[in-house]
Amino acid sequence: MYRGRLNPREVVGEVVSKYGCDRGRLVQILQEIQKTFRYLPRESLEEVSEKLGVSLSEVLNVATFYHQFRLEPVGRYIIYVCFGTACYLRGASEVYEAIRRSAGLSNGRSTTEDGLLTVEKARCFGCCSLAPVAMVLSSDGSERYVHGKLTPQAGRRLVFNYRSKARE
Amino acid sequence: MLTQTSLNRILYGSRGFRIRVPISSCTLAAGAGEVYRKVIKVVEEHGVDAEVYRVGCTGLCFMDPWIELAREGLPPAIYGNVKTEQIEHIIKNYSEGDLSEATAVRFKTGSGGPPALEEVDFWRYQVRYVSRNCGLVDPESIYDYIETGGYLGLKKALYMKQEEVIEVIKTSGLRGRGGAGFPTWLKWKIAYEQKNDVKYVICNGDEGDPGAFMNRLLAESDPHRVLEGLIIAGYAVGATRGIIFVRAEKPLMADRLEKAVEDARKLGFLGKNILSSNFNFDVEVYRSAGAFVCGEETALIAAIEGRSRPRQRPPYPATHGLWGRPTVINNVETLAHVATIFQTGVEEFVKHGTEKSRGTKMFCVTGAVKRTGVYEVPIGTKIKTLVFDLAGGSIEGRKVKAVQIGGPSGGCIPAELMDLEMDYESLQSYGAIMGSGGLVVIDDSNCMVDVAKFFTSFTLAESCGKCLPCRVGMRHLSDLLERLTSGEASLEDIEVAQELGESIARSSLCALGGTAPNPILSTLRYFKDEYVEHVVNRRCPAKVCAKLVKYSVDPALCRGCTQCARVCQVGAISGSPGEVHRINYDICIKCGQCLIACPFGAIKKV
Ligand SMILES: Cc1cc2nc3c(=O)[nH]c(=O)nc-3n(C[C@H](O)[C@H](O)[C@H](O)COP(=O)(O)O)c2cc1C
Ligand code: FES
């Protein structure tokens, strides 16, 4: 679904005409916009606010409330490390730190300089039996992988593998 | 109940030989996709006359990925933890009648051989009531569901008056499986009595408790059962529309439910004049963008309306719900129970459970146990049956210390209280809640203060910020716990934590804040000594809290690879390549990076 250089305003127009000017569909409209841009560009939010006649602060309120929405551009692959209870107790923090470090992330950054990988914490994926778990999504939503029983070592391998994959 | 012909058709298929492979989120993550492809390949290459069959999951996660071979004349045999390279061998041996490598068989036909399911610990304490079809039928086939008696419940319900349907659920004594255990019939009755031409029923499939995935498993493995329950609920209260609320983190669950809705519509179980009655009803699957508080019913309604955040109750959704209309919200498992009660009769349901809470409940046991999985047992089953008998107890060399029950709103029950029976009231009186039924087993490698800190930061992050006690109070609790785990707190702080927790619980707007202090209150109740140890001796007995441990290099394991020295930000580690490295404690800031970096496990916490 990812479509190169698009004008956020045009895209919003298309999406809104599909769902109708219904503020009750705000979440779905944002979901659809994110599918196109992989995140929610600021202009798109402004456009949504105008089109639906909802204040920008209300749109931002919804966009920041749900985990799914991202306000910053992301890498080609997003590595979500589960911080659910089962994963946390089985060592998710160490795995997360190892992944961040080998991806070269520091100072609160979550996307690598080369724009290939994003590393984030996530909530339970319901695969707790395989704790600790990471889910990797391609940012266009077309690929999805789950990795279980991770160790810091396996986390480092994950970064290496997805970085190579992203370069392909 | 199932006739023998139906059972045989489900077990062996029309060709008399069926190989079941579970395709669900968890089994896929464990490699079931490759297994599925390999089974198809082997069957084709060797000309085996077998049907390779996609099913949901049984919940025996510890043996993922598994396959089941079932040929007429042979007992259906389950093989756990299969690797692709074993498949050819397994199929060949089974076809020749050699079942010796199977983990278990569904039933025995002779003596000897692998144990029957009813003989093995991970099965025999279970009562598979709502989960009866999980791992047995194709979740994407409505015909499989009908073969097992599916939609018979709806048919029976539609012959009754609405009041009679509610009466059936009342006699069953069914209570909500989503957390609070509210009597299902009462919710329905209130909504039924509202005079309003538009009413809604909502299936709550948000399942935000980390450590709980029974709803996902059930909806991915037997989605029609949930849908049938929702249609019956819709009929009982006089609704015209149903919504199934699923979160974005669980896409396969949403896909399967969507498919179920489509197929049910095609066969006339949804739409106008369902089964020739004058009941009109349709269902939509709603994919939520994910936030923990959305599982709470008023927040869930707000999410569907495109807002966020919960609101004060009363008024309750049963009178003023979605778009201000009477709305019933039931959990996935509750609805699956409804369908099963109508299919098999109330008598079957009330056979199990306690006086106050009838029937069975699915529990997820994860964390520090040998056999993680989903187990369905009668309500009132002892915690130790779940943790030790079904899940096999602690991992080699470890000791179970506590069980965390009920997710972030629940509490920790210490090992000494494992005799406790799992029902709504008993758990509550011991400071935990049944919640959605997630049990995370904690062993001696986990620190209870750290566990409390974990949950506090979880709820703090999930607090919607609307009410002050939850927003600000949880921030203070979180800071307090940070100080405790860094050894900077005083004994007085422990008392403050207690008081603060109690007042947040009393004064918050919704149940998220109302239950958020539970993890800290229950750990304070049973593990105060661990808190005190952190304060008085500045020691973390489980060696978890980073600031209270020391890192040291084990000379026997260190190979001098210099990895640790390179990651150390403050230059506290010295040593030449090929030589044992050393940590200078005067400089070390205890960030723990060296431990993570060491490829040989030579850095230890002491
Ligand atoms: C913070 C919070 C989260 C909740 N999460 C869920 C959930 O994920 N699933 C669920 O069924 N109920 C959840 N509940 C309970 C619901 O509000 C509601 O009571 C339930 O869905 C009613 O269904 P039942 O009567 O069938 O149990 C949650 C409640 C709170 C306060
Ligand atoms: S806690 Fe990590 S998948 Fe559930």
The Cα of A147 is separated from the nearest Cα of chain B by a number of Å equal to 6
Q: Which residues are B330's β-sheet partners?
A: B203
Q: How far is CA B445 from CA A89, B39, B597, in A?
A: 9, 40, 20
pLDDT at A137: 86
The CATH number of residue B65's host domain is 3.40.30.10
Looking at the structure, do residues A82 and A111 belong to the same domain, yes or no? Answer: yes
| Interface test with chain B among A48, A65, A95, A121, by most B beta carbons within 10 Å | A65
Q: Which of A65, A92, A112 is the last residue of a domain?
A: A65
DSSP labels, B239-293: -SEEEEEEETT-HHHHHHHHHHHHHHHHTTSSBSSGGGSS--BEEEEEEE---GG
Is pLDDT at B446 greater than 70 in this prediction? yes
- Decide the pairing of beta strands B200-205 and B241-247: parallel
Same domain, A61 and A84: no
The pLDDT of residue B459 is 86
Closest Cα of chain A to B600: distance in Å? 10
Q: Which of B207, B308, B442 sits opposite A65 (nearest CB)?
A: B308
Token pair in block for residue B528: 């105060």
Six-digit token string for A131: 């704790």
The per-residue pLDDT for A5 is: 62
Total domains in the fold of chain A = 2
Residue B373 has pLDDT above 50, yes or no: yes
Q: What is the pLDDT of residues B163-210, one digit of tens each?
A: 999 999 999 999 999 888 899 999 999 999 999 889 999 999 998 788
**Helical ranges in B383-509 per DSSP H:** 383-384, 424-429, 448-462, 468, 474-485, 491-507
The verdict on B376 and B337 lying in the same domain is: no
Q: How far apart are CA B150 and CA B146, in angstroms?
A: 4
**Global pTM?**
0.88
pLDDT of B314 reads 65
Q: Whose CA is nearest to atom 1 of ligand 1?
A: B512
Q: Which of A159, A140, A72 is nearest to A109 (CA)?
A: A72
Instruction: Tell me, yes or no, whether B430 and B478 share the same domain.
Output: no
- Number of domains composing chain B: 5
Q: Are residues A85 and A61 in the same domain?
A: no
Q: Identify the residue among B596, B600, B605 best suited for mutation to test binding to A, counting A beta carbons within 10 A and taking the highest.
A: B596
Residues A86 and A128 grouped into a single domain? yes
Q: Which residues of B touch A22 (CB under 8 A)?
A: 306
Q: What is the CATH number of the domain that holds A139?
A: 3.40.30.10
Q: What percent of chain B has pLDDT over 70?
A: 98
Residue owning tokens 């600021």: A42
Task: Give the tokens for residue B329.
Answer: 């919200």
User: Are residues A104 and A46 part of one domain?
Assistant: no
- At B589 the pLDDT is 83
Residue carrying the six token digits 């060709």:
B15
Gap between the Cα atoms of B412 and B525, Å rounded: 9
Give the pLDDT confidence score for residue B292 in this predicted structure: 59
CB contacts, 8 Å: A25 with chain B: 306
**Cα→Cα distances A107→A104, A112, B566, Å:** 10, 12, 18
Classify residue A147: in a domain, yes or no.
Answer: yes
Q: Could you tell me if the CB of B211 is within 6 A of ligand 2?
A: yes
- Judge if B525 and B559 occupy the same domain: no
Same-domain check for residues B189 and B336: yes
Q: Which residue of B has its CA nearest to A88?
A: B454
d(CA B317, CA B310): 12
Q: Do residue B532 and residue B555 come from a single domain?
A: no
Q: Is B309 on the interface with A (CB under 8 A)?
A: yes
Best residue among A79, A87, A89 to mutate for probing ligand 2's pocket (most ligand atoms within 8 Å of CB) is A87
Of the candidates B328, B349, B370, which is a domain's last residue? B349
Percent over 90 (pLDDT), chain B = 68
Same domain, B106 and B22: yes
Instruction: Note the pLDDT of residue B1.
Output: 61
> What's B591's domain CATH number?
3.30.70.20
pLDDT the model gives residue B150: 95
Helix axes B87-95, B32-45, angle to 10 degrees: 50
* Residues in A touching B291 (Cβ below 8 Å): 65-67
A90 CB neighbours in chain B (<8 A) are 367-368
Q: Are residues A104 and A30 in the same domain?
A: no
Instruction: Name residues whose C-beta falls within 8 Å of residue A36's C-beta, 6 or more positions apart in sequence.
Output: A1, A2, A3, A6, A11, A15
How remote is the CA of residue B208 from the centroid of ligand 1, in Å? 9
For residue range A30-51, what is the model confidence (pLDDT) as tens digits? 888 988 888 899 999 999 999 8
Residues B365 and B249 in one domain: no
The mean of the pLDDT values for chain A is 87
Of all protein residues, whose CA lies closest to atom 22 belonging to ligand 1?
Answer: B330
Mean pLDDT of B365-390: 95
Same domain for B343 and B481, yes or no, is: no
- The yes-or-no verdict on residue A1 having pLDDT over 60 is no
* Same domain, residue pair A146 and A88: yes
Helix, strand, or coil (residue B413): strand
Check if A98 has its Cβ closer than 6 Å to any atom of ligand 2: no
Nearest CA to ligand 1 atom 12: B178
> Is residue B311 in a domain?
yes
Question: Do B417 and B459 lie in a common domain?
Answer: no
The answer to whether residue B291 scores a pLDDT higher than 70 is no
Pick the closest to residue B285 from B323, B247, B233 (CA basis): B247
Greater confidence (B497 vs B39) lies with B39
Q: What is the mean pLDDT of residues B457-485?
A: 87
| End-to-end C-alpha distance for chain A, whole angstroms | 19
**Residue B482 belongs to a domain:** yes
CA pair distance B96, B91, nearest whole angstrom: 9
| Ligand 2 atom with minimal separation from the B213 CA | 4
Q: Band the pLDDT of B3: cuts 50, 70, 90.
A: confident
Residue A3 lies in a domain: no
Q: Is any Cβ of chain A less than 8 angstroms from the Cβ of B141?
A: no
Give pLDDT, residue B406: 85
Contacts of A129 in chain B (CB under 8 A): 26, 61-62, 64, 366, 372-373
Checking ipTM against 0.85, whether it exceeds it is no
More confident residue, B463 or A58: A58
Q: Read off the pLDDT band of B309 (50, 70, 90).
A: low
A-chain residues near B599 (CB < 8 A): 153
**In 3D, which of A146, A132, A107, A76 has the Cα closest to residue B569?**
A107
pLDDT of residue A2: 44
Candidates A127, A145, A150: best to mutate against B (most CBs of B within 10 A) is: A127
Among B443, B468, B492, the domain boundary falls at B443
3-state secondary structure of B347: helix
- Residue B64 located in a structural domain: yes
Beta carbon of A134 within 6 Å of any ligand 2 atom: no
Q: What is the pLDDT of residue B313?
A: 60
Of the listed ligands, the closest to the CA of B206 is 1
- Residue-wise pLDDT for A79-127, tens only, equals 999 998 899 998 899 899 989 988 999 888 899 988 899 999 988 888 8
- Are A111 and A158 in the same domain? yes
Measured distance CA(B269)–CA(B225) in Å, rounded:
12
- The percentage of chain A sitting over the pLDDT mark of 90, rounded to a whole number, equals 31
pLDDT score for B308: 59
Residue with CA nearest ligand 1 atom 5: B295
Structural domain boundaries enclosing A46: 8-65
In percent, the amount of chain A with pLDDT more than 70 equals 97
Are residues A115 and A76 in contact, defined by beta-carbon separation less than 8 angstroms? Answer: yes
Q: Quick check: is B592 in a domain? A: yes
Domain of residue B585 covers: 550-605
B545 occurs within a structural domain: no
Q: Is there a contact between A124 and B306 if contact means CB atoms under 8 Å apart?
A: no
- Mean pLDDT for the stretch of residues B305-331: 81
Query: Is B129 inside a domain boundary?
Result: no
Closest ligand to C-alpha of residue B61 is 2
- What's the gap in Å between A81 CA and the centre of ligand 2? 9
Please name every residue paired with B603 in a beta bridge, in sequence order, or none if there are none.
B553
Q: Is the domain of A153 the same as that of A83?
A: yes
Query: Do residues A159 and A85 both lie within one domain?
Result: yes
Co-location of B241 and B94 in the same domain: no
Q: What pLDDT score does B351 carry? A: 95
Residues B119 and B188 in one domain: no
Residue range B553-595, pLDDT digits in tens? 999 999 999 999 988 888 999 999 999 999 998 888 888 888 8
Same domain, yes or no, for A88 and A60? no
Q: Which ligand is closest to the CA of A96, given by its number? A: 2
Residue B134 lies in a domain: no
Instruction: Note whether B439 and B452 are same-domain residues.
Output: no
Who lines ligand 1 at CB under 6 A? B 176-180, 182, 204, 206-208, 293, 295-297, 329-331, 334, 436, 510-512
Contact A103, A120 (CB under 8 A): no
Do residue A56 and residue A87 come from a single domain? no
- Report pLDDT digits (tens) over B512-553: 778 888 899 999 999 999 999 999 999 999 988 888 888 889
Q: Note whether residue B543 is domain-resident.
A: no
